[in-house]
């Protein structure tokens, strides 16, 4: 039975990538040792890190004024590094609050300074992204932070706020980076933990305008928490998570082979349409509460009429090889995460299962 | 040709471990997905993290009052987390300075407080560990920090300083943890990056008395830099580097199969004796400058009569399948790192090569 893993992260990795990594696990590049055993100071690893950067630049069309870094600790450590590195005063950093993960980012920033939550969709139970068309950032903000896709709530920005007064826009893109065409020039910094879209856990990918750190008022940061360390030493100040970088190389190789982000964008749109159509056609048996214009294309959350039915759904889906459909432990219900690695075939299998389940238990 | 990798880190991983990891890379525990794709919130991963902890407790005989945590960022991030978490005043933390890595730890602590370097072997060019028999720690120190094995200088503590006044002893054991029998109760905290002895890069293993953080005067630490986060949430506050934890499980499984640390201790002693005997018998052709009682059993550094000969040695060794023998970029010469994964066979191959090289170029 073919297995499809709908887990939110760590999540499915393209089969071709896993296959290649397995084949060369004991013998990379004919060296007789695996990447896991390879010193980061070798030419071979240097090639891996360079190739990964080139792939990312190509895929996301990233100009040279942006640096690309690999930082351990996932997005959670970034929640702290961002204020620690980017504050220009102690009162003005600004967050748009859209759910569980944006709140985590806010709490961490509050350890550094006063945080303005200048827009929030809490009143709407986070079932939408706030309306930002008339919103304006403050002129003295150190930066504005958004969470482009809300993995738990199943919401996603489909357009981004425009910044004024030269205030930098910082985005947590952990769950939708490289899943749709995005203009990097709309952002001053973008970051993403790797275990959702980009491969296995172990890193945050950080893309930022190199001169962003120049404004910082904090000049005595710990070495490992200072973006300059990663920029100036090409993420090799200490031993980086080498296997994770290698996997990121393979995943970005694969993305380029598939036709890049444009192709992914189209497939991901199609995949999400298939599921949302099924939900909307179920007459309320499957219920997604997100306001339609803000629905996420990569994390689709829905509920069944009762909690027992949800449990049965998860259980029976698993028996049919559809794994990882349980919603986040902070909410009830179902979540289908389908990043780039999930093929249309997997989504069709899920829809067929939803059909059958509704007929049997509806 | 059988390859032996003498790299200081990332370094050789036991073949049996690599083989098992390769076999189940695409299909862990019959799930149809690999560990890299496995959600950290599954029972299967929970079992991995529990088993790893049990293995470590068993191998190192660790009492329950010590916690075991997996923290991203390697030893370098620990250099900052230690003072950030353990200072009880701003003036008194104490470091024993024994080389390159202890200096890195000192520099990072200096970002937090005044640092007392209360003993140092700098005057001896770090060719020994300072004589600590008559040394006494200060009563008001927050802690004393040592580096038990100096990877670059090739020196190692073979006994540890005794603490007075209840001051905690903290040890960076990155390059000799689990390579020799050690009484954990001599230490209040021990840490090690994993890419030398314990498997691939991606983690620091942190073993500490749980109540050590209670003394701290800093109560508003960033979540990801607070040891309590890892202790209370079993290293699962955010997505841990799952594949690295899994590899650590396999490596510790393997260690137990081999007979535990006692067996490793004996083999590592033997391995280092073979090389040091060869060096000492070469009449100065191979030169190790470390004072004999402080020689490291796991990182053996030596030089040849000229720099050109060293280069030729490294080059020809590589052609014979002996990799990673170049000394650290901060020093000249040769370094043979031989942690637990290096079998006696590899060391014999190296000694045979040293023999042959000396006969040809001596």
What's the pLDDT tens digit per position in B117-136? Answer: 999 999 999 999 999 988 99
| Residue contact A11–B240, C-beta within 8 A | no
Residue B241 has pLDDT above 90, yes or no: yes
| Residue contact A22–B26, C-beta within 8 A | yes
Torsion of Cα atoms, A202 then A206 then A212 then A213, to 10°: 10
Percent of chain B with pLDDT over 90: 94
Q: What is the pLDDT of residue A101?
A: 97
Give chain B positions within 8 Å (CB) of A7: 37-39
Residue of B6, B7, B9, B10 to mutate when probing chain A, most A C-beta within 10 A: B10
pLDDT tens across the length of chain A (362 residues): 899 999 999 999 999 999 999 999 999 999 999 999 999 999 999 999 999 999 999 999 999 999 999 999 999 999 999 999 999 988 889 999 999 999 999 999 999 999 999 999 999 999 999 999 889 999 999 999 999 999 999 999 999 999 999 999 999 999 999 999 999 999 999 999 999 999 989 899 999 999 998 888 787 899 999 999 999 999 999 999 999 999 999 999 999 999 999 999 999 999 999 999 999 999 999 999 999 999 999 999 999 999 999 999 999 999 999 999 999 888 889 999 999 999 999 999 999 999 999 999 98
The residue in chain A having the minimum alpha-carbon distance to the alpha carbon of residue B13 is: A37
Q: Two tokens at B221?
A: 């630490």
Catalytic-role residue among B180, B196, B271, B278: B196
Q: What is the pLDDT of residue B338?
A: 97
B67 has which bridge partners? B208
Q: What is the pLDDT of residue B212?
A: 93
- Banded model confidence at residue B262, pLDDT cuts 50, 70, 90: very high
Q: Scan for tokens 């990663």, then name that residue.
A: A230
Give chain B positions within 8 Å (CB) of A13: 34, 36-37
Question: How near does any CA of chain A get to the CA of B10, in Å?
Answer: 5
The residue in chain B having the minimum alpha-carbon distance to the alpha carbon of residue A324 is: B39
Question: Nearest CB to A202: which of B19, B22, B241?
Answer: B241
| Residue contact B222–A108, C-beta within 8 A | yes
Give chain A positions within 8 Å (CB) of B101: none
Between CA A250 and CA A21 the distance in angstroms is 8
Q: What is the pLDDT of residue B70?
A: 97
- Banded model confidence at residue B256, pLDDT cuts 50, 70, 90: very high
Residue of A24, A33, A48 to mutate when probing chain B, most B C-beta within 10 A: A33
* Structural domains of chain A, ranges and CATH numbers in brackets: 21-257 (3.40.640.10), 259-361 (3.90.1150.10)
What's the pLDDT tens digit per position in B264-288? Answer: 999 999 999 999 999 999 999 999 9
Q: What is the pLDDT of residue B224?
A: 97
Q: What is the pLDDT of residue B209?
A: 97
Residues of A noted as catalytic: 101, 172, 196
Question: Nearest CB to A10: which of B8, B36, B79?
Answer: B36
Question: Nearest CB to A25: which of B2, B18, B39?
Answer: B18
Question: Nearest CB to B202: which of A12, A33, A244?
Answer: A244
Mean pLDDT of chain B: 96
* A144 three-state secondary structure: strand
Q: Where are the beta strands (DSSP E) in B210-333?
A: 299-302, 322-323
| Residue contact B10–A238, C-beta within 8 A | no
Give chain A positions within 8 Å (CB) of B38: 7, 10
Catalytic residue check, B135: no
* B286 three-state secondary structure: coil
A209 has which bridge partners? A66
* Interior/surface letters B106-137, b for 16+ CB within 10 angstroms, e for the rest: bebbebbbebbebbbbeebebbbbbebeeeeb
Question: How near does any CA of chain B get to the CA of A30, in Å?
Answer: 11
What's the pLDDT tens digit per position in B294-305? Answer: 999 999 999 999
Give chain A positions within 8 Å (CB) of B79: 223-224
Q: What is the pLDDT of residue A182?
A: 97
Q: What is the pLDDT of residue B332?
A: 81
| Residue contact B193–A111, C-beta within 8 A | no
Give the DSSP letter of residue A268: H
Q: What is the pLDDT of residue A213?
A: 87
Question: How near does any CA of chain B get to the CA of A129, in Å?
Answer: 24
Residue B359 has pLDDT above 90, yes or no: yes
Give chain A positions within 8 Å (CB) of B80: 222-225
Q: What is the pLDDT of residue A360?
A: 96
Q: Two tokens at A38?
A: 């390879």
Question: How near does any CA of chain A get to the CA of B49, in Å?
Answer: 15
| Residue contact B80–A223, C-beta within 8 A | yes
ipTM score above 0.90: yes
Q: What proportions of chain A, in percent to the nearest 5, are helix, strand and coil?
A: 40, 15, 45
Question: Nearest CB to A201: which of B7, B193, B239?
Answer: B239
Give the DSSP letter of residue A14: -
- The most distant pair of C-alpha atoms in chain A lies apart, rounded to whole Å, by 63
Catalytic residue check, B196: yes
Between CA A163 and CA A118 the distance in angstroms is 13
Q: B156: closest CA among B75, B99, B82, B74?
A: B99
Q: What is the pLDDT of residue A219?
A: 79
Q: What is the pTM of this model?
A: 0.97
Residue B330 has pLDDT above 90, yes or no: no
Q: Two tokens at A237?
A: 């100040």
Q: Where are the beta strands (DSSP E) in chain B?
A: 4-5, 66-71, 93-97, 115-120, 144-147, 149-150, 155-156, 169-172, 189-193, 204-209, 299-302, 322-323, 334-337
The residue in chain A having the minimum alpha-carbon distance to the alpha carbon of residue B329 is: A41
| Residue contact A80–B223, C-beta within 8 A | yes
């Amino acid at each position: 039975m073919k297995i499809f893993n709908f887990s939110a992260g760590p999540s499915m990795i393209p089969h071709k990538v896993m296959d290649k990594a397995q084949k060369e696990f004991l013998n990379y590049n004919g060296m007789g040792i695996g990447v896991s055993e390879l010193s980061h100071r070798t030419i071979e690893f240097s090639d891996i890190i360079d190739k990964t950067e080139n792939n990312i630049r190509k895929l996301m069309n990233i100009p040279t004024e942006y640096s690309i870094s690999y930082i351990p600790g996932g997005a959670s450590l970034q929640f702290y590094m961002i204020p620690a590195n980017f504050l220009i005063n102690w009162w003005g950093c600004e967050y748009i609050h859209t759910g569980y993960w944006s709140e985590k980012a806010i709490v961490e920033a509050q350890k550094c300074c006063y945080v303005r939550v200048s827009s929030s969709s809490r009143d709407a139970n986070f079932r939408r992204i706030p309306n930002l068309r008339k919103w304006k950032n403050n002129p003295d903000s150190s930066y504005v932070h958004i969470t482009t896709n809300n993995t738990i709530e199943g919401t996603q920005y489909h357009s981004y706020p425009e910044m004024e007064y030269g205030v930098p826009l910082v985005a947590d893109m952990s769950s939708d980076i490289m899943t749709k065409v995005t203009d990097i020039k709309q952002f001053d910094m973008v970051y993403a933990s790797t275990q959702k879209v980009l491969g296995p856990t172990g890193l945050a990918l950080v893309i930022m305008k190199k001169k962003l750190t120049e404004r910082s008022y904090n000049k005595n940061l710990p070495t490992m928490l200072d973006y300059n360390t990663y920029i100036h030493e090409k993420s090799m100040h200490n031993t980086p998570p080498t296997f994770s970088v290698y996997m990121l190389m393979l995943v970005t190789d694969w993305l380029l082979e598939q036709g890049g982000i444009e192709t992914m964008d189209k497939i991901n749109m199609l995949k999400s349409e298939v599921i949302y159509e099924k939900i909307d056609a179920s007459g309320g048996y499957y219920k997604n509460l997100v306001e339609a214009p803000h629905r996420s294309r990569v994390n689709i959350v829905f509920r069944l009429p009762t909690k027992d039915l949800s449990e049965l759904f998860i259980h029976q889906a698993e028996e049919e090889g559809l794994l990882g459909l349980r919603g986040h432990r902070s909410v009830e219900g179902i979540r289908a995460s389908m990043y780039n690695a999930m093929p249309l075939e997997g989504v069709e299998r899920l829809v067929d299962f939803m059909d059958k389940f509704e007929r049997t238990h509806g």
